[in-house]
Amino acid sequence: MNDSLNQILSATDIKGAKLRNRLAVAPMTRVSATPEGAPTQAMHDYYLRFARGGFGLVITEGLYTDGAFSQGYLNQPGLADDEQARGWAPITAALHEQGALAFAQLMHAGALSQGNHFRSHGVAPSAVQPKGQQMTFYYGKGEYAVPHEIGEEEIAQVVQGFVDSAVRAVGIAGFDGIEIHGANGYLLDQFLTAHTNLRADRWGGPVEQRVSLLVEVLTAVKAAVGEQVPVGIRISQGKVNDFTNKWPSGEHDAQAIFGALARAGADFIHVTEFEAWQPAFTDGGDSLVALARKHAPGVSIIANGGLHDARRASQVRAAGADVLALGRGALANPDMPELWQRGLAPRVFDSGILGPIADIKESELALAATD
């Protein structure tokens, strides 16, 4: 095993959370909870495979944060009440028994909500119809609805939802860290994005103001649980409904965003791109990982995007990533850390896993049991 793989498989620390290696399971929506948002036995078995396979960290799929506008998908799990949180406690305990840590990703879907059993419409910074079509493999159909513009009172409720769900995640569910979902086109990213945030108040305008809701949520969650566990945030340029989106002002935007999150006390920033090693912008230059490292120098960086290839993983690690999060690679190889440790080739990802509905399949659970 070469030195770069040795580094990836070495232990690390995110603000006191000790990981046995630098490989994490990336958050991936699997629409396998109960209609009421509670985790199921299939979810327990699904997450446990990754801990048994040697991953140091498992980050959950996005968990909705309140009983109002946050839910994005039918059969999405939540942390909006104590009963949902209690359902996660056996899962986190099982992961701990296998030597893995578990971070809860907290998510508000905003305008991209396509299945919410609490509300019949969505909210967003501005009444802008999202691009593209709803995702059929998450039970969606047709165009996204035009959201209502969110008001100040509802924004305060959004922030409180993140805080309350984080407190439940740590105090009831037993999670070891909190990841705020500020990426992929969901509500916080809608505030960050110029063409979805047309507001003229303190939440809109230049990027330094559009990032302010992300900072406010991060600061509030840090104040509630940050002495107990690390608190970080996921950031991307692309969205689930707009894969090719780029920040219009290039590195200026990167500096403003990563700098603001670092000053707000983020313990980690989780950067996701389709291919994490590629230049962040069309004119070449640094990757988004390298820009995060440059403009948030004291913050742990988690990188995600096509890192199931050991050579690419080593390249991104060298660019400044402390932890490498695998999505497709983890689905095909729930034992990826063990495979790399033993010098074995990983299995090829089969996109059929996520179709026709992206729920957890018996074939996935059988893979972990037999290999």
Running DSSP on this structure, what letter comes out for residue 352?
G
Per-residue pLDDT at 101: 98
Domain count for the chain, please give it. Answer: 1
Rounded Cα distance between 155 and 222, Å, is 18
**By the 8 A CB rule, do 292 and 269 touch?**
yes
Task: Give a yes or no: residue 211 inside a domain.
Answer: yes
pLDDT digits (tens, 9 = 90+) for 2-53: 788 999 999 999 999 999 999 999 999 999 999 999 999 999 999 999 999 9
H/E segment holding residue 207: helix 207-210
* pLDDT score for 1: 59
Q: Establish whether the linkage from the previous residue to 356 is cis, with ω within 30° of 0.
A: yes
Distance of CA 225 to the CA centre of its chain: 18
How does strand 268-272 pair with strand 300-304? Answer: parallel
Active site residue 73: no
- pLDDT tens column, 78-130: 999 999 999 999 999 999 999 999 999 999 999 999 999 999 999 999 999 99
Q: Is 249 helix (H, G, I), strand (E, B) or coil?
A: coil
Q: Is 184 left (phi over 0), alpha (psi -120 to 50) or beta?
A: left
Nearest to 176 by CA among 104, 80, 270: 104
Q: How far apart are CA 308 and CA 334, in angstroms?
A: 11
Report the sign of the C-alpha dihedral through residues 114, 68, 228, 297, in that order: positive
Between the alpha carbon of residue 344 and those of residues 188, 311, 324, 333, 336, the distances in Å are 40, 14, 19, 11, 9
Within-domain flag for 84: yes
Annotated catalytic residue within 46, 47, 138, 186: 186
The pair of structure tokens assigned to 84 is 């949902």
Q: What is the span of the domain harbouring residue 155?
A: 3-366
CATH code, domain carrying 307: 3.20.20.70
Task: Determine which helix (DSSP H) or strand (DSSP E) holds 136, and give its type and residue range.
Answer: none
Tokens standing for residue 11: 């232990």
Length of the chain: 371
**Gap between the Cα atoms of 107 and 188, Å rounded:** 9
Q: Are 221 and 162 in contact (CB under 8 A)?
A: yes
What single letter denotes the amino acid at residue 281?
F
Sign of CA dihedral 307, 196, 59, 180: positive
Q: What is the pLDDT of residue 2?
A: 79
Which parts of the chain register pLDDT below 70? 1, 368-371
Structure tokens at 307: 């890192």
For residue 90, the 8-state DSSP code is H
- Measured distance CA(107)–CA(72) in Å, rounded: 9
- Give CA separation, 314 vs 37, 156, 266, in Å: 37, 41, 24
CB atoms within 10 A of CB 201: 10
Count Cα atoms within 13 angstroms, Cβ side, for 110.
Answer: 34
**Residue 304 in contact with residue 270, Cβ under 8 Å?**
yes
For residues 246 and 277, what is the distance between their CA atoms, to the nearest angstrom?
15
- 44: in domain: yes
Q: Is residue 371 part of a domain?
A: no
Closest CA to 185 of 251, 260, 262, 129: 129
Distance from C-alpha of 272 to C-alpha of 247, rounded to nearest angstrom: 14
